[in-house]
Structures are given as C-alpha cells and as structure tokens.
C-alpha cells in the first residue's frame, strides 16, 4: 500500500449563473500549483466524454464473491455467546490486574502494543471497504475517493483515471482548440476532487448554455488551515493498482498493429454484445488483418463476422489478433454518437489494446489490459514484449529533464536531445512510464511528462516483481522450453504438455486460454498449486504455447 495525501480547499462543483455554467474543479493542494480557465466550445461533447471517463473510474467487472452474510451472522452470534460465557472470568481477572498495577509506570511494551492494535484497525478498515465495494458500490463510491488526475500541457488538457478492478485506463484529451481562449494557465499535474454529485451535475451541461472549465488555483493563494471548507484525506493505493497504471501507460509506447474502424462497426459490435450473453467460451474478439483489405472483426463464440467499410489495413503482414475482456468496451457507448472514427492499437494476442475515439478537438483513449482482470498473463506478456529493450539512469535523467522543460516531445526529438540509440531510448521511456513519470499520447505520437504521484513509482510502492515471473523470463530467454504435445479436451478445453528448464509440467486451458488445472513437479507448485499463481515452468510453457499458436495462425493466413 502507498499512502497518498490529498488536501482540498473546497468541493468540485458545477456553478450555474444566468445563461452560463462553470465547472469548478478543486485541485490537490498537496501537489504543485496547477490552474486553467477556459470556455468549452462544445459542452455536450465534453459532457459525454467525461461521462465515459466516469464509467472507467467506477468500472469493476470482477466476479462477485458468494454471499456468505447469513453464515457470517451465525458465526458472529456463536462468538458472542462464547464471549458472554467467558466475560465473567475476564472481568474478575481484569479487576485483579488493575488492583495490582495501582499507580505503577506504564507497561514497557505500550508503544509496540499500540502499533499492533493500530495495524489491526487498518486491516479491519480495508476489509470493511472491500466488503462495502462488493455489497453497496454506490455508498462505497461516495465514501472512498477515487480522484482522477488532470494535466495541463501547453497544447492540451487531459484527464486520466484507472478502474477499480485494475484492468482499464481512461484518458480524455481536450486540445486547446476546444476552448475559446484560456487564461490563468499554470502547467503541471494534480489530482482533482471528484464525486458522484459532480458527475450528476455534469449531466446538466447543454449546448445553449456556455460552459467554463476552471481549475481553481485560489487554494494556493490563501491560508487554508483552520477554514471550514478545507479538508485533508489520506488514501491507500495498492501496489497492484500502481503497477497496473504504469504497465498500461508503458504499453502505449511499445507500438503494434494500427486498425482504423468506422463508428458504425464499433456501434454494431457493442449492440451485438449488449443483446447477447455468451454461456461458453471463447469470449474473445478476433481481428483478421490482411494488408490492403478492410479489417474483419469476429465475435466469439458466435463466429459473428463484422466487415469494416472504412480504410484498409496498412500493416506489412497478415495476422489474426485475439483480445479478451470485451465487455469493458461498453464504456465507449456514450462517445460514439459524437465520434469521427475509432482507432485501435493491437499489441498482440492476449496483450493490452488501446482504443482511441476521435471527436474533433477531443479524443477519448481507453486502454484495456489483456484480460478482464489485470492478472499475471497480461503482465508477463507485456514485460516480455519490452524484454529486449534496455535502459540506463543517465538516459532516463536526460529524458526527464527535457520533458520537464518542453512538456512533450516526439521520439526523434528525444533522440536529438539525449543523443541515445533507439533501443536504449525506448527502454528508458518504458521504464519512466512504469514509474508513472511519462505518458505516451498515441494520437499525436508524442511523449508527455506527467507524474502520476509527486514522486516516481518505486519498487517499494508497487512491490517487487514476482520471482516466478523473473525466472520464467530467464527460461524463455534461454529457449529452454519444449512443447511435447497438445490435445483437445471436452468443453472446448486444451491440454498442453511439455518441459521448461528440464522440468515436466502440463496445463489445462479453457476456451479463453485461462488455467483450469495444472501439474508441475517443482516445489513451488507442490506447496501452492495455482493458489499463488502459476509457477515459473507453467509461466514459460504458456508463453511458449502462445508464441507457437501466433506463428501457426500467421502461416494459415498466408
């Protein structure tokens, strides 16, 4: 967990007066001074795009756990009954001990006991928050802040948010051309106060009423301590949340296959998914890409083929790319009526995908991890994708210094500023993105300086990389994986058998490519099974199988 300090002078609100409205956002006073004031030319487009970002903030498609309320209530009653039987003895013992202590000095372990009790309290608080998020998400959203991040750059203002289930990243870019004038501009990145009430007020934005976006800096200019409207909060961000934010930010900088889709195709795809509910796997979207021909989108398990009537695919080779977690794409629904086109950046099968909805001077970016949850598969595959890129501290410092001054730069501009080779430059940029210091604006092909926290994300905050993942990377780098056989199994499952680092292992995958059962002779699997995640050998076996399957698909397409 990483504690994040938030300090706000007032609540963000939508203030209406006469024929105008002002969306006044309260910045985090615990960070650098950031301000902006400008009139939005298209309030409805801004409203719909911000509403889509809200769907990312509150998004959580994790499978809900079984309701054990009745059992826990019975268990609590039994505990209370037992406690009541023992209370008489405890009370007598307490009185005797109190009489013995009298006016003696405090116990020597008072500080340690206090810290132990304090940690118990915070564990209970976290458990309560998790239970509340499952059973009463509306109340949880009101009580637990999930404030987005806003960055004011010389050419754009953009809002970023990360979903609760750690699988989706949303970013709304609003170019300066979307504002009729701007004043009181202070560049930088900060959190802004956000609530359900503010979201509800956003729905009242209309074209016939002028709308002003104000990132209010007055809290930096007055004495806030002691004021009734000043409040401070401290929230704990889990390491997985921070690691996921960095991973998806880094994914946009790795390149991939660009697919341009007309709005009507994306609308047809979302409408089909809204009407249908799959009962069996696979639950993937397949992109069939042939150079010079319009892309085809296939929805499994119905094998529904949607052919694009837009631009042809301009990639160098034929390929078929599968992505999962498609229900999260419904977030785009509110942006489509105002969209010009949709662009998709595909990094590979099972890897993150980036969806860019272009809306004139605004663009909404939705980046999705490889699966509905930010699990080990997407994380490992993404790390392996950038595995050949190296970085060094000196190049990272030069990049950061240049971006702090210029705020954004192209890859060629950074190469000239740092005098670094392409691989070293890309590796250093990916490392900075994982630290939360850099974000890649895919639509403009520019790297932007943006510090997600006041300090870079370190291993202490995101947690160290799993030893099993590190060892799996080593096994794959040494080409020490041998696939012996693969056999179809009932219910669309697949059995793969092989050796990794001379260790025999096998895995049963479902139609979506996820582990159902597994077996390995190593000590990690003997102790934990799949409860602590697959072992290094299963990791390596699965990635080697994915690579072989991808190669076979390309050969079939040719």
Q: Which range among 5-19, 60-74, 130-144, 336-350 has the greatest average pLDDT?
A: 336-350
Largest CA distance in the chain: 90
pLDDT of residue 93: 77
Reported CATH class of domain 393-462: mainly alpha
What is the rounded average pLDDT of the residues 332-346?
92
Highest mean pLDDT among 19-23, 411-415, 547-551: 411-415
DSSP annotation of 433: H
Q: Note whether 228 and 294 are within 8 A (CB).
A: no
Q: What is the pairing mode between strands 446-449 and 408-409?
A: antiparallel
Please, where in the chain does CATH 3.70.10.10 lie? 2-58+146-221
101 pLDDT more than 70: no
Cα–Cα distance measured from residue 229 to residue 7, given in angstroms and rounded to the nearest whole number? 11
Q: Report the DSSP pairing between strands 438-441 and 13-17.
A: unpaired
What are the tokens at 487? 């056999």
The lowest-confidence range among 113-117, 492-496, 524-528 is 113-117
Range with top average pLDDT, 142-146, 219-223, 240-244, 506-510: 506-510
Arithmetic mean of pLDDT, 174-185: 89
Predicted structure pTM score: 0.73
* CATH class of domain segment(s) 467-557: alpha beta
Each residue of 12-48: pLDDT tens digit? 888 888 778 888 888 888 888 888 999 999 999 999 9
pLDDT of residue 435: 83
pLDDT more than 70, % of the chain: 78
Amino acid 337: pLDDT: 93
360, 339 contact by CB (below 8 A) = no
What pLDDT is attached to residue 244? 67
Task: Decide if pLDDT at 493 tops 70.
Answer: yes
- Contact status, residue 297 vs residue 285, Cβ threshold 8 Å: yes
Top mean pLDDT of 85-94, 355-364, 547-556 is at: 355-364
pLDDT value at residue 137:
54
pLDDT in tens, 146-172: 567 899 999 999 998 877 777 788 899
Residues spanned by CATH 3.10.150.10 within the chain? 255-385
Spatial separation of the C-alpha atoms in residues 440 and 448, rounded to whole Å? 6
Phi/psi region, residue 88 (left: phi>0; alpha: psi -120 to 50; beta: rest), is: alpha
Q: How far apart are CA 43 and CA 359, in angstroms?
A: 13
Q: By the 8 A CB rule, do 245 and 295 touch?
A: no
Please state, rounded to an integer, the average pLDDT across all residues of the chain: 80
pLDDT at site 141: 46
Mean pLDDT of 472-491: 88
pLDDT of residue 198: 79
The confidence score (pLDDT) of residue 264 equals 95
Highest mean pLDDT among 159-173, 262-276, 313-327, 362-376: 262-276
- Rounded to whole angstroms, how far apart are CA atoms 52 and 372? 18
36-40, 132-136, 411-415, 427-431: least confidently modelled range: 132-136
Mean pLDDT of 430-443: 84
**Could you tell me where in the chain the CATH 3.10.450 domains are found?**
467-557
Q: 289 or 82, which is more confident? A: 289
- Average pLDDT for 278-285: 84
CATH code reported for the domain at 2-58+146-221: 3.70.10.10
CA dihedral 500, 502, 503, 509 (to 10 degrees): 30
Can you give the pLDDT at residue 498?
94
CA angle centred on 28, ends 23 and 34, rounded to 5°: 70
Cite the residue boundaries of each domain of the chain with CATH code 1.10.10.10.
393-462
262 vs 265: CA distance, rounded Å: 6
Going by the DSSP 8-state scheme, the letter that residue 9 receives in this structure is S
State yes or no: pLDDT of 10 exceeds 80.
no
Q: How far is CA 438 from CA 345, 348, 403, 426, 515, in A?
A: 19, 23, 9, 12, 34
Name the band, by pLDDT with cuts 50, 70 and 90, for residue 238.
Answer: low
Q: What pLDDT score was predicted for residue 537?
A: 93
- Give residue 298's pLDDT: 95
DSSP assignments along 84-136, one per residue: HHHHHHHHHHHHHHHHHHTTPPPPTTHHHHHHHHHHHHHHHHHHHHHHHHHH-
Going from the C-alpha of 472 to that of each of 250, 466, 469, 521, 543, the distances in angstroms are 21, 10, 5, 15, 9
CATH number of 255-385: 3.10.150.10
How far is Cα of residue 396 from the mean position of the Cα atoms in its chain?
Answer: 24
Integer Cα distance of 303 and 301 in angstroms: 6
């Amino acid at each position: 967990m990483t504690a994040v300090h938030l300090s706000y002078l007032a609540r963000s609100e939508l203030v209406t007066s006469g024929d105008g409205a002002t969306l006044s956002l309260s910045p985090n006073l615990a960070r650098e001074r950031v301000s902006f004031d400008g009139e939005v030319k298209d309030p409805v487009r801004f409203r719909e795009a911000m509403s889509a970002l809200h769907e990312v903030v509150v998004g959580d498609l994790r499978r809900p756990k079984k309701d054990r309320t009745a059992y826990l209530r019975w268990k609590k009653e039994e505990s209370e009954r037992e406690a009541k039987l023992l209370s008489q003895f405890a009370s007598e013992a307490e009185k005797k001990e109190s009489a013995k202590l009298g006016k003696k000095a405090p116990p020597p372990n008072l500080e340690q006991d206090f810290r132990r009790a304090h940690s118990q309290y915070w564990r209970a608080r976290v458990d309560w928050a998790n239970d509340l998020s499952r059973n009463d998400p509306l109340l949880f959203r009101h009580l637990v802040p999930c404030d987005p991040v806003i960055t004011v750059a010389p050419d754009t203002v953009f809002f970023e948010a990360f979903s609760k289930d750690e699988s989706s990243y949303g970013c709304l870019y609003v170019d300066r051309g979307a504002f009729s004038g701007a004043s009181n501009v202070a560049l930088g990145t900060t959190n802004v106060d956000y609530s359900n009430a503010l979201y509800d007020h956003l729905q009242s934005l209309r074209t016939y009423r002028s709308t002003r976006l104000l990132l209010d800096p007055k809290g930096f200019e007055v004495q806030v301590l002691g004021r009734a409207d000043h409040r401070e909060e401290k929230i704990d961000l889990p390491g997985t949340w921070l690691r996921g934010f960095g991973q998806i930010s880094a994914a946009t900088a790795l390149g991939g296959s660009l697919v341009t889709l007309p709005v009507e195709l994306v609308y047809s795809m979302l409408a089909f998914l809204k009407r249908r509910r799959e009962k069996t796997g696979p639950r993937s979207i397949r992109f069939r890409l042939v150079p010079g021909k319009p892309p085809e989108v296939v929805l499994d398990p119905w094998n529904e083929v949607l052919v694009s009537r837009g631009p042809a695919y301009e990639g160098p080779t034929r390929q078929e790319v599968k992505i999962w977690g498609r229900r999260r794409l419904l977030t785009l629904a509110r942006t489509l009526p105002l969209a010009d086109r949709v662009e998709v950046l595909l990094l590979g099968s099972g890897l993150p995908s980036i969806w860019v909805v272009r809306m004139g001077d605004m663009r909404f970016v939705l980046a999705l991890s490889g699966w509905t949850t930010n699990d080990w598969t997407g994380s490992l595959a993404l790390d392996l994708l950038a595995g050949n890129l190296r970085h060094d501290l000196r190049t990272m410092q030069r990049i950061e210094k240049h971006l702090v001054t210029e705020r954004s730069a192209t890859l060629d501009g950074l190469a000239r500023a740092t005098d670094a080779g392409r691989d070293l430059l890309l590796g250093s940029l990916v490392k900075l993105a994982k630290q939360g210091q850099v974000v890649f604006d895919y639509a403009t092909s520019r790297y932007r300086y943006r510090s997600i926290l006041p300090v870079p994300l370190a291993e202490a905050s995101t947690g160290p990389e799993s030893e099993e993942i590190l060892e799996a990377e080593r096994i794959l780098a040494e080409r020490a994986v041998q696939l012996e056989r693969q056999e179809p199994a009932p219910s669309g499952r697949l059995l793969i058998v092989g050796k990794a680092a001379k260790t025999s292992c096998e895995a049963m995958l479902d139609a979506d490519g996820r582990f159902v059962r597994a077996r390995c002779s190593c000590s990690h699997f003997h102790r934990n099974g799949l409860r602590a995640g697959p072992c290094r050998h299963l990791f390596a076996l699965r990635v080697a199988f994915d690579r072989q399957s991808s190669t076979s698909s390309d050969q079939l397409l040719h």
